[in-house]
Amino acid sequence: MTNELTDRNKKILLIVLIAGCFLSTLNQTLLNVALSNLMEVFDVTPATVQWLSTGFMLVNGVLVPITAFLMKRFTTRQLFISSMFFLFIGSVLCACAMNFDVLLTGRMIQAIGAGIIMPLMMTVILYLYPSEKRGSIMGTIGFAIIFAPAIAPTLSGFIIEYVSWRWLFIGLVPFVLIVIILAFKYLMNVAETTKAKLDIVSVIVSTIGFGSILFGFSSAGSKGWDHPVVITTIIIGIIVTTLFCLRQIKSNDPLLNLSVFKYKVFTLTSVINVLITIIMYADLILLPIYLQNGRGFTAFEAALLLLPGAVINAFLSPITGKMYDKYGAKPLFITGLVFIFISMWAVIDLTESTTYLYLMVRTILLRIGLSFISMPLNAAGLNALPRELGSHGSAVNNTIRQLAGAIGTAVVITVYTIQSTSHVSELSMENGNISALQLAKLASIFGSSDAYVFMLVLSFVAFIFVCMMPKKAAIPKSESQKEKHS
C-alpha cells in the first residue's frame, strides 16, 4: 500500500497532517496568557481556571497510551478526520460558552482531538519514509509544532487586549473546517488495519495511573506537596502505572508495547527527552513569572520577549532535521546542550536591572539549543525501532513528554516557591524598612534565579546521557532483513 503513494501524494498527505497538527498545537497553548482574563470573566479562582490547562493535559495524557491500539484498528483517514472533528466541536462549544463549565467541557473535547494527532503523524512518517530521510521530514514537522506555541502567547495577548477572548476559539473554527475538507479530499490511508482487540482492563488501569500522576503533579504547584490530595493521587498513580507496565510486559498483544525499551538508543533518547521537556516547559513558565511578578511587565510584553527565539527555533528546525540525516544525533545533541547550558548560566544571577534585551538574546540562545535537540531526538528514538514497533514508540514518546511536562513544571514551580519564601524572611531580616511590594518583587527575582540553577543542573545531567549515545545508530534488524529479502 505504501508503494502506491507517489512523492506528490506523500507531500499532500504531509501538508494536511502538518496543518492539522499546527492548529491542534496552537489551540493547546493559546489559553496560557488568557487565564487571568478568564478568571475575571467567569469569576473563578486561579485553582479553578487552571483546570483549562490541567484538564486538557489530563485528557491528552490519558488518550496517548491508547493511540497505538487506535492506529491498528482504524485507518489514518478515519483517525485524522475524527480528531479534527473533536477540535472543531470543542472550539465551537468554547466560543459559545456562557459559563465556565461549558468552556471546560469544550476544552476537554478539543483535547481528545489533540491527543490522537501527534502520535498519528509520527507513525505515518515511519511508514512513508526510510530512516535516512526521517530527520528532514521531522524537521519540517518541527517547524509547525514549534511555530504554533511560538506565536500563541503573542497572538492571544493581542486578541485579549484588543478584541474578545471568544475570538481565541472563533478564529480557529474556519481553519479547522478547511483542514477537514482537505482531509476528505486528499488524505489516504497509510497502513492496513487489523481487527485488534481492545484490552479494556489496560485502558482503565492506564487512565487511572497516568491520570492520577498528571493530576497529582499538576495540583502540587497550587496545593503544595504536603496536601493529602497531592500525596494520595501521586502514590495511587505510581502504584497503578506500575501495575499497567507489568500487565503490558506479560501481554501477548499489549496496549502499549514496552519492549521498545530493549533498544538502547530509544531508552537513552527517552531519558534525554524527559530532561529537555522539563527544561523547555519550566522556562516557558519561569520567565513570564520573573518578568511579570519580579519586574512588572505585562503579559503581552512577556510574550513578545519569547517570540524572536521561538520563531528562530521554528525556522532552524528543518535545517537541523537535514543535519541529523547527514551527521547523526550525537553531534547535534552536544551542540544543542552547549547552547542550553550557556542560556541557563546566563540567568542564574537575575537582578532588578537585568535588561529586556539581555533576556531576549539569552532566550534566543536557548531556542537555538532546543532546535538542535527536539526534533532530531524524536527521529533518533523512532529510527532505533523496527517499523512494527513504530506506533508504540511514538505513543511511549508522547506519554513520556506529557508526564515530563507536568512533573517538570510542578517541580520547578515548587523550587521557585520554596526559594522565594525563604528569600522573603532573609530580606525582611536584613532590611527591616523594606516595603511589602518591594519585598515580594525581590523574593520573586531571587527565587527565579534559584530555579534556573536547578535547570542548569538538569542540562548537565542531560549532557551526561548524550555522551552515552552511539555515534551513528544502527538500523534495527527487522528493517535491514526486510531490505535483504526484497
Domain co-membership, 300 together with 339: yes
Same domain, 192 and 286: no
pLDDT at 86 over 90: yes
The CATH number linked to 290 is 1.20.1250.20
Q: Is residue 246 part of a domain?
A: yes
Give the contacts of 470 (CB within 8 A, at least 6 positions apart): 264, 265, 330
Helix (H) or strand (E) holding 339, with range, is: helix 329-345
Enter the C-alpha cell of residue 323. Answer: 543535519
408 and 282 in contact (C-beta within 8 Å)?
yes
Nearest in space to 140 (alpha carbons), one of 5, 377, 321: 321
Q: Where are the alpha helices (DSSP H) in 45-75?
A: 46-49, 51-63, 67-73
* 254-289 residue pLDDT tens: 888 888 999 999 999 999 999 998 888 888 778 887
Helix (H, G, I), strand (E, B) or coil at 136: helix
Q: Are residues 143 and 225 in the same domain?
A: no
Predicted pLDDT at 460: 94
Q: For residue range 424-456, what is the model confidence (pLDDT) as tens digits?
A: 888 877 776 777 788 888 888 888 888 899 999
C-alpha cell read off for 293? 511578578
Residues 309 and 367 sit within 8 Å (Cβ to Cβ): yes
> What pLDDT shows up at residue 477?
52
Mean pLDDT, range 244-252, rounded to an integer: 89
Residue 212 or residue 154, greater confidence: 212
Q: Are residues 289 and 411 in the same domain?
A: yes
Please answer whether residues 409 and 149 qualify as being in contact, where contact means their C-beta atoms are separated by less than 8 angstroms.
no
Angle between helices 329-345 and 264-289 (to 10 degrees): 20
Could you read off the pLDDT of 189-215 as tens digits, one per residue? 776 777 777 888 888 898 899 888 888
What is the mean predicted confidence (pLDDT) over 350-379?
89
**Contact at 8 Å (CB) between 407 and 241?**
no
| End-of-domain residue from the set 155, 174, 196 | 196
Question: Of 180, 196, 212, which closes a domain?
Answer: 196
Per-residue pLDDT at 348 exceeds 80: yes
Predicted local distance difference test score (pLDDT) of residue 109: 94
Q: Which of 208, 226, 254 is the last residue of a domain?
A: 254
In a domain, 411, yes or no: yes
CB 8 within 8 A of CB 133: no
Single pTM value for the model: 0.80
Q: pLDDT tier at 352 (50, 70, 90 boundaries)?
A: confident
**Cα–Cα distance measured from residue 30 to residue 149, given in angstroms and rounded to the nearest whole number:** 8
Give CA separation, 299 vs 151, 160, 286, 443, in Å: 14, 10, 13, 20
One domain for residues 36 and 134: yes
Q: Classify residue 127: in a domain, yes or no.
A: yes
CA 383 to chain centre: 20
Least confident range of 7-11, 13-17, 462-466: 7-11
Q: What's the domain count of the chain? A: 3
pLDDT at residue 290, as a whole number: 84
* Domain annotation covers residue 82: yes
pLDDT of residue 479: 44
pLDDT-based confidence at residue 226 (cuts at 50, 70, 90): confident
pLDDT at 152 over 90: no
Residues 286 and 414 in one domain: yes
Same domain, 231 and 143: no
pLDDT over 90 percentage in the chain? 26
Residue with cell 494536511: 16
pLDDT value at 481 more than 50: no
Same domain, 149 and 220: no
Is 423 within the bounds of a domain? yes
pLDDT value, residue 222: 67
Residue type at position 448 = S
Q: Rg of the Cα trace of the chain?
A: 22
Contacts of 404 (CB under 8 A, 6+ apart): 273, 274, 275, 277, 278, 281
Does 271 share its domain with 206? no
Q: How far apart are CA 24 and CA 115, in angstroms?
A: 9
291-315 average pLDDT score: 83
Both 366 and 317 in a single domain?
yes
Looking at the structure, tell me whether residues 157 and 212 fall in a common domain: no
Domain that includes residue 212, residue range: 199-254
Decide if pLDDT at 77 tops 60.
Answer: yes
State yes or no: pLDDT of 132 exceeds 90.
no
pLDDT at 221: 65
Residue 260 lies in a domain: no
More confident residue, 113 or 483: 113
Q: Examine the domain organization and report whether 211 and 304 are in the same domain.
A: no
Q: Is residue 259 part of a domain?
A: no
- Which pLDDT score is estimated for 192? 73
**Would you state the pLDDT for residue 267?**
93
d(CA 378, CA 362) in angstroms, rounded, equals 25
When the pLDDT of each residue in the chain is averaged and rounded to a whole number, the result is 84
Residue 396 pLDDT > 90: no
- How far apart (Å, rounded) are the C-alpha atoms in residues 171 and 275? 34
Residue with more model confidence, 476 or 173:
173
pLDDT digits (tens, 9 = 90+) for 22-69: 998 888 778 877 877 888 889 887 777 878 877 887 787 778 778 778
* pLDDT attached to residue 365: 95
Q: What is the per-residue pLDDT across 90-127, written as a single tens digit (0 to 9) for each?
A: 999 999 999 999 999 999 999 988 888 877 887 788 78
